Amino acid sequence: MKLSTPRWWYVRRGAPMPITRALLTPVSWLWAAVTARKLAKITPTDPGVAVICVGNLTMGGTGKTPVVRELLRHLRSRGVEAQGLSKGHGGRLIGPVLVDPAVHPAADVGDEPLMLSRDAPVWVALDRLAGAQAAAAAAAKAQVVVMDDGHQNPSVRKTLSLVVVDGETRDDEWPFGDGAVFPAGPMREPLKAGLARADAVVLLLPADLAEPDPALLAVLAPTPVLIARLVPDKAPPKKPVLAFAGIGKPWKFERALKAAKARLLDFAAFPDHQPYDEATLNLLDRQAAEGGGVLLTTEKDWVRLSPEWRAKVTPWTVRARFEDETALDAVLAKALPAPASKLRSPRRKPGPGSVQAPQKAKKPASRLSPG
């Protein structure tokens, strides 16, 4: 039985469920200790290819996979043979296997790899080291592997470690909750420990949030911060919609639809990676029809549907977009082989809030500052 993400995990102050949280705290101590011991004990192995790890400090819902997708697009558009690597959560195949979207369903390789494979080569491997080695040895030899998740996995030597942080802080929401480690809170490990291994943070803002929260930037300092936004590819349908989502933070999808002025009939939230059965989909379809509307879901949910249901359900796709690609290139240069490391994106006019680390001396604001 899958469980939905507790929303109280992400309340900054005065979170509810105090008795439950207190009872779970000893388990949190054990979780944190086991993670720290694993990280200290295992020596990472060089897979023979540069690895950019895009990880989480929390249990999910940060927008990590859209960031991986954008990095793959960004690198490949500059002539770098970048390939994705995922554990394939929810899939049956152990791997390493190169995902073929024309052959593999989500039940085989997982929804996130299937979504990513629509844009770039993606490998699925339960053993991430074996997956990176397979990408390096393939006919289309990878120059860079972009690994979806794995910040707490020490098996692979990482050339560059990025962590994605949810930038939503309105209505007293906070990406780290009160800092408690799973299961008493959302953290995979203590915040300070996770940030210490990160080369940079990708702070992912919703499209309708004008500026990042200064208090959050202060918490992340002195780690360099890259600002990105989760931007829809197009407006939602003009018809009324019954929306549903089985993602890490389904309420973010509902909020984004409201911000985009979607005509919401209702919203149904499901656990992350939830497989949908016929009874559930038929019920949602009937409710949408009764309201004169259509079914709408995330792309991640859409790829989990059968071909028949994909024809009936509209996916609302979103993309991560970095505000300053020059700053992004400067960070990525560490992982790129020469002469690709000298490639730079076309210079773009800096947008607001892209440099989010304190400067030691007075100088023009940079899009990226090491603090």
Please spell the DSSP secondary structure of 119-184, one letter per residue: TS-EEE-SSHHHHHHHHHHSSS--SEEEEES-TT-TTB--SEEEEEEE---GGGB-TTTTSPBTTT
b/e for 184-216, b at 16 or more Cβ within 10 A?
bbbbbbbbebbbebbbbbbbbbbeebeebbeeb
Distance between CA 162 and CA 188 in Å, rounded?
A: 15
Question: How much is the pLDDT for 245?
Answer: 95
Distance between CA 104 and CA 359 in Å, rounded?
A: 48
Count the neighbouring beta carbons within 10 Å of the beta carbon of residue 40.
8
Distance between CA 259 and CA 87 in Å, rounded?
A: 33
pLDDT cut 70: percent of the chain above it: 89
Task: Say what the pTM is.
Answer: 0.86
Asked if the model's pLDDT at residue 346 lies above 70, the reply is: no
Over residues 73-102, the pLDDT tens digits come to: 999 999 999 999 999 988 999 989 999 999
Q: 3-state DSSP call for residue 83? A: strand
Write the single-letter amino acid at 11.
Answer: V
pLDDT band at 45 (very low <50, low <70, confident <90, very high): very high
Over residues 210-268, the pLDDT tens digits come to: 899 999 999 999 999 999 999 999 999 999 999 999 999 999 999 999 999 999 999 99
DSSP H or E segment with residue 195: helix 191-196
Distance between CA 190 and CA 179 in Å, rounded?
A: 7
Strand partners, 56: 164
Count the neighbouring beta carbons within 10 Å of the beta carbon of residue 268.
17
Asked if the model's pLDDT at residue 2 lies above 90, the reply is: no
SS3 content of the chain, % helix, strand, coil (to 5): 35, 20, 45
Distance between CA 148 and CA 73 in Å, rounded?
A: 14
Question: How much is the pLDDT for 4?
Answer: 73
pLDDT band at 354 (very low <50, low <70, confident <90, very high): very low
pLDDT band at 370 (very low <50, low <70, confident <90, very high): very low
Q: Could you tell me where the beta strands, DSSP code E, fall in 246-353?
A: 264-269, 294-298, 313-316, 318-322
Sheet holding 144-148, edge to edge: 97-98, 122-124, 82-86, 144-148, 50-56, 160-166, 200-206, 225-232, 318-322
